[in-house]
Structure 1
Amino acid sequence: MTGEISGDQSESRSAAGGRNPWLIAIVVSIATFMLVLDTSIANVALRNIAGSLAAGMDESTWVITTYLVANSVIIPVSGWLASVIGRKRYYMLCVATFTIASLLCGLAPNLEMLIFFRILQGLGGGGMAPSEQSILADTFPPEKRSQAFALYGVAVIVAPTVGPTLGGWLTDHFSWHWIFFINVPFGIMSLALVQWLLVEPDVIERERQERLKGGLRIDWVGFILVATALGCLEIFLDEGQRNDWFASGFITTFAVISAISFLLLIPWEFSHRDPIVDIRLLFSRQFGTSFLVMMAVGAVLFSTTQLMPQLQQTAFDYTATLSGLSMMPGGIAMLILMPISGFAAGLVQPKYLIVMGMSVVVVALWHMTSLTPDASFRFFAFARIFLMIGLPFLFIPISTAAYVGLAPQKTNQASALINVARNIGGSIGVSLSNTVIAQNAQLHQSNLVSHTAQSSSAYQQLLRQVTDHFVAQGSNMLEAKQQAVGWLGQLIARQASLLAYIDVFRYCAIATALFVPLALLLRSPKPDKRQPK
């Protein structure tokens, strides 16, 4: 099987050289798992980090925000950097930076140093996924890419499921420092295997030399514009709800800077000879459609991955570990379905698989609107499994379809942009979801309070029952009435919050359904006739 991908080895873009290409897919998935795990593992430990470093919760959220900003800044330019530095060299540099920064995060003596090391970690992590996907796209021919992305996708989607559970367990049984230390052995293993097994194809090295022949021309204006646009957008989305959106001058400033940077970026990159981001790809039917669909999928995956533990811990009093465990069956379902999806993508056109996957996600999200105050662990586990059934039939076909019709020299840029789509979609999904929850919870609470007037016989009857309960617990009548009123207030707040979460699931289902017809615009991959099957 080692020679089935190569054809003319001197012109092959495969990173496998004479080795089995599936070995390369496994190797790049190691660092992917480490990277994606880190995006979700830190969320559950924020309270512990804040307490340990004598910081407030609002301050500690910058541990997440700064990482995401650094990630957003480096991802779109990673394709250009890989072409200039060399794909293997750049990939190893990213893994090394991420690993060293993880160690330093665990050793950080204060919040300021932790935030600085998280920025370094984000810069290293941002370039890893685009490089890995570019390696897979070049190492496997079109008809085998779906299977390669299936193996890679196990790490991409299972890691966020494992992250909250592992993060909660490490924090509860050791300390928050270990959520960073755990990356170090993975990083060392990845570097050793990449150095040993991956090759830099001659044709890619030749393209790099030709690019540098006339001297290195850096699109500094393009870099500043894309870094400013995406960095400010990430701060706007991540901090907007906490700062009351456009009522805050801080948030408004970042929104305006981001919008202006985007408006200037498009004509600049279109007119530049060697753009740091190939904007033209977004205006092609195939890649542009893949970009939009990936944004929608990223929004659903990231928002539900964050909202489910948040809902369970606030409205159902789950611990971090228990809420993570409720998501574990979904990860197992993904593990089983990924190879099936990869096999199916070799037989069925990607657009039909995407339509099917999105339809399953729509039904799964709508099922979650049946959430009740007495929902069991089984309900949450099944809801997550139901949602996860659809996602393998989205990520793999989209990743496969994105490279259809692209020139081989465009794979680095395409990989970078498809990751930008997933991250932007995720940030938008999480931000909008939290905004809906905050605003709709207030609306529902006002509505529920309006039905608890003193003249309401149902309210008076419930108040008497609760008062009698507290009297039976040993309180005198006056204390029992006060406790009863407080208990009913908490009940209303919890019910209002639950209704707000249901609203989010309903809106996500409707939004996902609107994207279904878009998938039908995609073309199907054709076998690469230059390479034997």
Structure 2
Amino acid sequence: MSSPKGFARFIIVLTTVTAAVMELIDTSIVNVGLSEMAGSLGVNIEDISWVITSYAIANVIIIPMTGFLAEYFGRKNYYLVSMVIFTIASYMCAQSTDLVELIIWRFVQGVGGGALLSTSQAILFDAFTPEERPMASGLFGMGLILGPTLGPTVGGYLIEHFSWPWMFLVNLPVGIIATILAYTFIDKKEGEGQKRAGIKIDYIGIALLMLGIGTLQFVLERGEAEDWFASDAIKTCAVLAVIGVVGFIIYELRIPNPVVNLRVMKHRPYAFTTIFTFVAGLGLFTSVFVYPVLAQRVLGFTAYETGLSLLPPTLAGVVMMPVIGKMMSKGVSPIPFIVVGFILFAIYSWMSADISPDVGRWAFFVPLLIRAFGISMSQLPLINQAVAGLQPKDYAAGISLNNMIRQIGGAFGIAMANNFVSHRYAQHRADMVANTYDGAPAMTERMTAITQSMIAKTGDASTATAKAYAMVSGAVDKQAYYLAYLDTFRLIGIFFIIVLPLVVFLRKKKTNGPAAPVDAKAVKEAMEAAH
């Protein structure tokens, strides 16, 4: 089967990238609408956060299984059904009238959405020749960066101008159009869906994957809210996660046809690529989480203003993706890009940690621009590295596993940030309270000024002192959170620095003697069979 050309290729690129962006937007779009959703459904913030957790758990379970499911059902069939599931579940989320119903449909949405990421990437790669695949990686990487960043922007706009159900309804026209285009322009591969009778379903592997990865994601997502190991639920799920993950690894390595081919990890460059992918996912998702919370909780930005401040620098970074893809398609090594990208992200983290609390919306533009360039220069080469050196038959497994690692890195980063902010907030608040006791010169001067201002405005001397103490306490809280978020930026930067020495292991081992000639036709046929 030849690669599509012209308009057909354009439609395939548009469809697959749009589907991936739609899935990634839904990982973060609800973050800015939790308060309104909680109020509408009559629950608290801790309960409504299950809307995020259920989607993430479904995503991280289904993503590593996409290679097997696409082979079993046929890739086009699986892709179309996943789009339909995602679109219908989006509509049902918008129509939900209680929390349990919303959580269930959000989980179903995650099952459909998880397939869109890896399958979109595989279909997109097939639309290009092997020599052009770095350019395909660039196009896919554009969606990878845009999705999580567009989420808060789109969500903030819809919350500000409409209502929370529109965060789900916005998927309907996109999902319907993408489904029609995929059905019309994406061809079935030769023999697709005809191997089902010869494929044994790895039921035990699927069960262990769901147990291990599902409970691990629960621990990472809900640990902070449940007070970590003070909670019996977290302790139980942590034990089940260890049993499930260890059992899954041992079992999958021992059977001939596993649901997830972990044997690709024996390839050294790929194994170390997953470490970099984990850190990149940690930085991508955690920065999109920490910055909006800092901007809204401390700096007083609205959800929409926060999203707008993220958008221009991100778009500038997205423009770099095809440029980097073009350079890599001409033979430029991806490794220097990875190094520079990780260094830029560390610089962004340190610059963000030095931002003054009295800043406007655009004070973050330069750090966020550096972040966007860092992500562009690291994500694309890592996407390419995820298949470089693997056998064509292992591409689907390599892509799926790499995408799962990125998602887990993001979940780990957000859980780490939540826990770290809480501890650093308590420490900073205790330090400041120790210097704001009654009788301290600065405290006395501040209290006197606030009290007199209150009396001048209200004429109520009896409550002025109490209100002054409340204002001072609020200012201390705000400053403590501000310092805690700055510490978190530094922590994120440390991850990007300490992993850099491992870049030496990304290089493929040199073979002795002249390289064997490559049969381009055979490679192309093998890659078509892989997907």
Q: State the TM bucket, normalised to the shorter chain.
A: over 0.9
SS at match of 1:473: helix
Among 196, 210, 220, the residue aligned to 1:237: 220
- Decide which of 191, 206, 217 is 1:223's aligned counterpart: 206
Cα distance in structure 1, aligned partners of 2:97 and 2:498: 48
Distance 1:316 1:219, change over 3 A: same
Cα RMSD between the aligned structures?
A: 2.1
2:354 matches 1:370: yes
1:34: how far off?
Answer: 1.4
Match of 1:3 in 2: none
User: How far, CA to CA, are the matches of 1:456 and 1:475 in structure 2?
Assistant: 27
Task: For 1:217 and 1:390, locate their aligned partners in 2 and report how far apart those are by CA, in whole Å.
Answer: 43
- Which residue does 1:506 correspond to in 2? 490
State the SS of the aligned residue for 1:489: helix
Cα contact 1:26–1:152 (8 A) shared by 2: no
Counterpart for residue 415 of structure 1: 399
Given the alignment, which residue of 40, 45, 62 partners 1:52? 40
Partner of 1:246: 229
Give 1:4's aligned residue: none
Letter in 2 for 1:255: A
Q: Is the 8 A contact 1:71 1:125 kept in 2?
A: yes
Three-state SS of the structure 2 residue aligned to 1:42 is helix
In structure 1, the partner of 2:269 is 286
My pick for the range that moved more, 44-53 or 131-140, is 131-140
**Letter in structure 2 aligned against 1:279:** L
User: Quick check: 1:166 aligned with 2:149?
Assistant: no
TM-score, normalized by length of structure 1?
Answer: 0.92
Tell me: CA distance 1:18–1:476, structure 2 relative to 1, closer, same or farther (3 Å): closer
Query: Equivalent residues in 2 for 1:262-411 (5 A)?
Result: 262-346=245-329, 347-411=331-395
Look up the SS of the partner of 1:373 in the other structure: coil
> One-letter code of the match for 2:277?
M
* Whole-angstrom distance in 2 between the partners of 1:530 and 1:223: 36
Distance 2:304 2:263 in 1: 45
In the TM superposition, what whole-angstrom CA distance separates every residue of 1:367-408 from its partner, at most 9, and x where no partner exists? Answer: 111022212212123322221111011111000111112122
Task: Indicate conservation of the 8 Å contact 2:267/2:390, yes or no.
Answer: no
Q: Does 1:194 align with 2:178?
A: no
1:18 Cα deviation after fit: 9.1
Contact 1:349 1:524 in 2 (8 A): no
Do residues 91 (structure 1) and 79 (structure 2) align?
yes
C-alpha displacement of 1:414: 1.3
Kept in 1, the 8 Å contact 2:301–2:361? The answer is no
Partner of 2:416: 432
Runs of 4+ deviating beyond 6 Å:
524-528
Equivalent residues, number: 516
Cα distance in 1 for partners of 2:357, 2:351 equals: 15
Match of 2:116 among 121, 128, 133: 128
Q: Which residue of 1 aligns with 2:12?
A: 24
Equivalence for 2:91:
103
Cα distance in structure 1, aligned partners of 2:327 and 2:428: 44
Tell me, yes or no, if the aligned pair for 1:452 and 1:459 is still in contact at 8 Å: yes
Letter in 2 for 1:250: A
Partner of 1:62: 50
Task: Specify the code of the residue in structure 2 equivalent to 1:40.
Answer: S
1:452 aligns with 2:442: no
Does structure 2 conserve the Cα–Cα contact (< 8 Å) formed by 1:17 and 1:201? no
- Equivalent of 1:487, from 471, 480, 496? 471
Distance 2:5 2:369 in 1: 39
Shift of 1:22: 4.7
| Structure 2 residues without counterparts, runs of 5 or longer | 510-514, 525-531
Q: Is contact 2:76-2:188 (8 Å) kept?
A: yes
Segment drifting more, 239-248 vs 48-57:
48-57
Task: Give the AA of the match of 1:467.
Answer: T
CA distance in 2, matches of 1:528, 1:168: 51
Deviation at 1:334, TM superposition (A): 2.2
Gaps of 5+ in 1: 1-8
